[in-house]
Structures are given as C-alpha cells and as structure tokens.
Amino acid sequence: MKIGAAMFFTDYSMSPAELALALEERGFDSLWAPEHSHIPLVRRVSHPSGGELPKQYYDVMDPFVTLTAAAMASRTLLIGTGICLVVQRDPIQTAKSVASLDQISGGRFLFGVGNGWNQEEIEDHGTVFATRHKLARERIEAMQAIWTKSKPEYHGEFVDVAPMMTWPKPVQKPHPPIIVGGAFPWGAKRAVRYGNGWMPHRVRKHYADVAALVPQFRAMLAEAGRREEDVPITIWGVKEDRDALLADRDLGVERVVLSLEAAKRDVILPELDRWAKLIEAVR
C-alpha cells in the first residue's frame, strides 16, 4: 500500500517544491493539491466535516500551478489534484492543463476529480447546483475524447464540443487516471461508471469508517463488469495509526492520503518523519 500527502498550498505554507522534495525523500508516493476558486461570504451549505471553514480554504492557490512547481522539483513523486472541481472549469481548457502537466511531469499526474459541496461557489461559475453531477460526467467524457482522439468532438445535454484539434496529448495512455472523489454510495457509483479509481474520505457523517463499505463497493464493480484492479481505492484523511493502516493494506486499499496543515517546515517535517516509519511498516 502506498501513502500520499495533501496540503492546501498558501502564502504561509511550505512551498510545493519544498514539500515535494521532503515527501520524495521519505518514501511517500504522491502529493495532492485541493482546489477552491473562492469562498462566498454567504453559504447555505455547511462543510461536510462540520464546524467553521478553515482559513486555508479561502487562501488556497491554484492546484495546476502548485503541482507544476512540485513536479519540477521531484523525479518520481506522483502529483494529483485532490480534488479538481470540474463543475467550475471549462473542459477544453482543463483538458489542456491536465495534458500539459502530464507532459511536464513525465506522466506522473493523477487527475482527482469531484463535484463539490459549496453551492454558492459552484453557482458563481454558472453551474446549476442540482445538475452538477451530470455536468461533471459530461465534462469528463468530453476531456477523455480530447485526450484520446486527433479530431475530438462531444455532444451531450450540457456539453457540446464541435470537431476540433488540440494538443498536447497526455503521456499516460489513454489518459491520466481519473480518480473520483465522493462519499458512499453516490461517489462510489460515479467512480464505477467513469472512474479509474475511487477516493472517499475515511469518515463522513454517513459512515464511521469507509473501510467497512469496501465490500459493497467491490460488489458494485462486479455488477458493472469492472475489475477491482482497474478502479483501486484511495482513502483520504487517514491518521497516524499503524494498526488502522495495516488493516487498510490487508483490505487491499491501494493508497491512503494524510492531510497536512498549511504550515511551514518546522511544523510539517517532524510529522513527515513519523510517517516515514509508518510507510516502512505498511510497505
């Protein structure tokens, strides 16, 4: 089992290049950057974890910029969006950003995607909140066409793309893995339908621990005629718990991701040193 780390990169956190080097040196497999374009001051929907929204949500940098810096500083570390809000992004431009970053990194990009919870943020981008899930699927399908065809086109209910030519194409074939974030069961269903991986949080208000739902997810894959190895599981938001990590490994979870504070090296590096020992334990 592999272990990755995520950080909201801000002007008061470690830099992406600095963190990428620190992770690579300690045996982490991946670095993940989240996305929020902005946070509206009036919100009707609370954060899924409850409580006040942390300051880093307001301050986070663009993930494609920070991950480019991370890719340039590292050699083997995978870099991923965790997650990219495709319902807030133009699919043609986003397809180019994904392919460009996959090229620059030498095929190390993981395209983590999600449909978002912050209704006002989403609606500020012209997206209807109630239909965002279908919009996301169509945008992802349009991007898949752009990445894999020399003269792509796509025609859906929300996305209509006339025949075009656009490069570069990604290094990874047919394209970087699309790792679908979201809780069980709806996020899992989307991963089964069009994902190359499922990335739930460890705990959500609907369940105490997502590991207990893994058998049901695998049953969904089997019913859809998809193989477990083609839609591996990445669990987000894990803790420093050796026994829990070993249980994840034995369950067949491909990767777990810890969420780091948006802080400087004096706070982060001691935590990474402790995790380096856990990486050896579960390898």
pLDDT of residue 42 exceeding 90: no
Which residue's structure tokens are 């490069």? 167
Domains belonging to the chain, first-starting first, are 2-282 (3.20.20.30)
**pTM of the entire predicted model:** 0.96
Q: Which tens digit of pLDDT belongs to each residue from 76-118? A: 999 999 999 999 999 999 999 999 999 999 999 999 999 999 9
Q: What is the mean pLDDT of the chain?
A: 96
Which residue's structure tokens are 């929020």? 36
Burial class (CB in 10 A: 0-12, 13-18, 19+), 54: middle
Tokens representing 103? 């090229």
Q: Where are the alpha helices (DSSP H) in 112-228?
A: 119-123, 132-148, 186-194, 214-223
pLDDT at position 52 is 81
CA 155, 231, 203 angle in degrees (round to 5)? Answer: 105
Tokens representing 53? 């929204």
pLDDT of residue 46 exceeding 80: no
Q: Which residues pair with 258 in a beta bridge?
A: 5
pLDDT at position 122 is 97
> How far is residue 230's CA from residue 232's CA, in Å, rounded to a whole number?
6
- Backbone conformation region of residue 106, classed left if phi is above 0, alpha if psi is from -120 to 50, else beta: left
pLDDT at position 283 is 83
pLDDT band at residue 206 under the 50/70/90 scheme: confident
Residue 250 near residue 281, CB atoms below 8 Å: no
Tokens representing 247? 């249980």
